[in-house]
A and B are shown apart, each in its own frame.
Chain A
């Protein structure tokens, strides 16, 4: 049963036939793991928290830096120097004290993700490097969790929902990370500040829809966003039978730390 406070707080969602009181209760019972409390994570965390997703696990090893504030709007100037997971937790508690935030102030690695991910319904990717992305994606395949992908660089962004076998996994589409130096890091290339906000909100929308069972999920489609042209386009993507993790004879059947060494971008 919803409390009176919850009825008021979530009234605009309860009014939607796709959500209603029952949908709101689903959100309150949901547990979402967010990897990264940066630009994507700022948008994802605030909207999931405001929507009343009951438990948010947030993983990030970094501290808030002045150069983050241009696009990582969950953090404020006063938070510079704080752990991002602490800063995010503080902000979420102000936004919605009904949400439980579980901070994980360290990087996702083979051991930690294997312990943490099984506790959650789904995982949202707000990370900024290929090693973590492959790790989280492979873990999501192995533990059969839907993986809400997003990434941004300059004016461009991607989003999709990866969930084999009915949809591809990240590795089906991007079998291996680019060699170090081929793709510029965020630090070198820059990021148009609204790009992670827009992509992060697409991830948040997909995560909420998934939890509610509402609408059509972004499965088997890679959404490609160009803020400079202000265009969205879609690329059809499908599962590869030869995929190393979700294929018919997968080479990756467990997470081995040596497969996820840091490749680029910090």
Chain B
């Protein structure tokens, strides 16, 4: 499970967390994997739920020290990736 791109949104608040995750997924092709570092708590609950609601696949959510490491697979949508 090799991520194509890594994103750290631990410093962001809702909804900029989701906005940054969506923008990062924009840069990927269908099937690519994005690694996201989220602050534990609200973001770790909301961002995966919203991305899943948008059709993306949450592959794993792993609790680390104060953060959550999420792997999400881009599913569907157009892409900026070349």
Interface residues, chain A, with chain B CB atoms under 8 Å away: 2, 7-8, 11-12, 14-15, 17, 20-22
Contact = CB atoms under 8 A, between A and B. Distances in A.
| Residue among B18, B19, B78, B80 with max Cβ neighbours from chain A (10 Å) | B19
A8 B78 CA distance: 22
A8 B15 CA distance: 9
A20 B78 CA distance: 11
Task: State the main secondary structure of chain B at its contact with A.
Answer: helix
B80 A11 contact: no
Range, interface on chain B: 10 to 19
A8 B54 CA distance: 20
Contacts, number: 26
Contacts of B23: 2, 7, 14, 21
A14 B15 CA distance: 10
Given A12-B15, A20-B22, 16 more contacts: A7-B19, A7-B20, A11-B15, A11-B16, A11-B19, A14-B19, A14-B23, A15-B15, A15-B18, A15-B19, A17-B54, A20-B26, A21-B22, A21-B26, A22-B26, A22-B78
A215 to B, nearest CB: 17
Given A7-B16, A8-B16, A22-B78, A15 B26 contact: no
A11 B15 CA distance: 8
Contacts of B54: 17
B14 to A, nearest CB: 10
Given A7-B16, A8-B16, A14 B80 contact: no
Contacts of A17: 54
B79 to A, nearest CB: 9
Interface string B1-31: 0000000000000011011101100100000
Nearest to A13: B19
Nearest to B20: A7
B58 to A, nearest CB: 18
Nearest to B79: A22
Q: Which of B20, B23, B80 has the most CB of A within 10 A?
A: B23
Contacts of B16: 7-8, 11
B36 to A, nearest CB: 16
A9 to B, nearest CB: 11
Nearest to A24: B23
B75 to A, nearest CB: 13
The 9 nearest A-B residue pairs measured at CB: A21-B23, A11-B19, A21-B26, A14-B19, A7-B19, A11-B16, A15-B15, A15-B19, A22-B26
Nearest to B24: A21
Nearest to B78: A22
A102 to B, nearest CB: 29
Contacts of B22: 14-15, 20-21
